[in-house]
């Protein structure tokens, strides 16, 4: 297939789980034809407005937000913001003249894809989760293609539009080599003679994970012998965790030196490589990356997500004996003990790693890019 120059709008964001797949798709389209022009559309004030320009792409922000879970006057503004965002999206489409519009989820996807459909622009959705969100379920009947990562998605969207592609992830996420493991241990200052747990709360951090860690550390880290913990706490929580760890270094320096915390993990491939067990939320990108990295993982699905989709994501792996799940409500008592128990069972770790690797769907971005060209050609 010859890959001609395209003009592509990619909309969505809000969390790394939407942004990083979008950037992967953009990078793949640019690799097929470097002259392809890509415009991102996001929600003002959200993470994409920082991460997308940092990756070298232009982004335009819409005044759009989600429905608040609590009673709020902000919810009354939502219909007006949606209409305003659709009008602005139509102006952007008329000015940019895209060949296709791609939605990756997040607040900006709905108005942009609705505007594109009303103007006759082909549309494609990339649904990352095992349970389709409300926006994608509503838009699914009108888009040309829906790229998914889980089986059984015909429950939510038309079966004839579904293509199994997997979730786009960073190309650097691969099964660890001995050299990568050594580099990861060195990068994060871990003890090379011990076992390692990596706790990652998603791109924004997890208040629950941080609470569990603080309680465990305050209790003297029972079961820590021969174990180092790499703890990604999130930018918002970093000042509080810094103060807490400073206190612990004074109270119990022998314990605190085995805990390594950071707000953001820049070399995720090395952190995965260094870890014997990973504790993670089960957002779509996290699940896909952990499968690609072939890691033994304990998922603690976030209860604060639409349609409880993180539980659906995690259970898809549990059914294949490729992961372990701990409920969020039980995390305080079970999160760390479950990880420490896994470290005592190398055979179980090896089985989880093998089965997770079997669920990996490589080159998802490339498969989505092929669908883009098929749509435009068709």
- CATH classification code of 178-358: 3.40.50.2000
Q: Tell me if the pTM is above 0.85.
A: no
Domain borders along the chain are: 7-167+363-377, 178-358
CA distance 188 to 185: 6
Written out in words, the top-level CATH class of the domain with range 7-167+363-377 is alpha beta
What are 76-90's pLDDT values in tens digits? 566 666 788 889 999
Beta strands (DSSP E) in the chain are 7-11, 37-43, 58-62, 100-103, 123-127, 145-148, 162-164, 195-200, 227-232, 259-262, 277-280, 297-299, 324-325
- Higher-confidence residue of 76 and 189: namely 189
Q: At what angle do helices 309-318 and 284-292 cross, to 10 degrees?
A: 20
What are 143-176's pLDDT values in tens digits? 999 999 988 889 888 999 999 999 998 889 999 9
Residue with tokens 């940019």: 96
| C-alpha of 267 from chain center | 15
Check whether 73 has a pLDDT greater than 80. Answer: no
CA distance 195 to 147: 38
pLDDT, residue 72, reads: 54
The DSSP output letter for 8 is E
Give 219-243 as a DSSP string: TT-TT-TTEEEEEE--TTTHHHHHH
């Amino acid at each position: 297939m010859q890959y001609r120059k395209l003009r592509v709008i990619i909309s969505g964001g809000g969390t790394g789980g939407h942004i990083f797949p979008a950037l992967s798709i953009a990078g793949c389209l640019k690799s097929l034809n470097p002259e392809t022009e890509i415009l991102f559309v996001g929600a003002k004030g959200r993470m994409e407005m920082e991460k997308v320009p940092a990756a070298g792409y232009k982004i335009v922000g819409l005044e759009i937000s989600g429905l608040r879970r609590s009673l709020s006057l902000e919810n009354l503004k939502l219909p007006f913001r949606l209409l305003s965002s659709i009008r602005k999206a139509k102006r952007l489409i008329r000015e940019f003249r895209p060949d296709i519009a791609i939605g990756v989820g997040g607040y900006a996807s709905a108005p942009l894809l609705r505007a594109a459909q009303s103007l006759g622009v082909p549309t494609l959705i990339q649904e990352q989760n095992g349970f389709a969100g409300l926006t994608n379920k509503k838009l699914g009947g009108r888009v040309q293609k829906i790229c998914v990562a889980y089986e059984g998605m015909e429950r939510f969207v038309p079966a004839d539009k579904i293509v199994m592609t997997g979730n786009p992830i960073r190309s650097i996420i691969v099964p660890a080599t001995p050299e990568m493991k050594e580099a990861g241990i060195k990068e994060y200052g871990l003890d090379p003679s011990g076992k390692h747990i990596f706790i990652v709360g998603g791109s924004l951090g997890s208040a629950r994970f941080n609470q569990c860690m603080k309680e465990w550390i305050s209790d003297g880290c029972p079961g820590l012998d021969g174990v180092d913990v790499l703890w990604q706490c999130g930018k918002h929580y970093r000042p509080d965790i810094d103060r807490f760890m400073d206190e612990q270094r004074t109270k119990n320096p022998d314990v605190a030196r085995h805990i390594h915390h950071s707000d953001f993990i820049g070399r995720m491939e090395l952190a995965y490589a260094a870890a014997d067990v990973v504790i993670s939320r089960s957002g779509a990108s996290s699940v896909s990356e952990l499968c690609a990295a072939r890691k033994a993982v304990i998922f603690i699905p976030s209860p604060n997500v639409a349609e409880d989709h993180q539980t659906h994501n995690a259970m898809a792996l549990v059914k294949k004996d490729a992961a372990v799940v701990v409920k969020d409500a039980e995390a305080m008592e079970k999160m760390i003990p479950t990880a420490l128990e896994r470290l005592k069972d190398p055979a179980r770790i090896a089985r989880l790693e093998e089965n997770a690797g079997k669920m990996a769907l490589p080159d998802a971005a490339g498969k989505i890019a092929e669908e883009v060209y098929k749509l435009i050609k068709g």
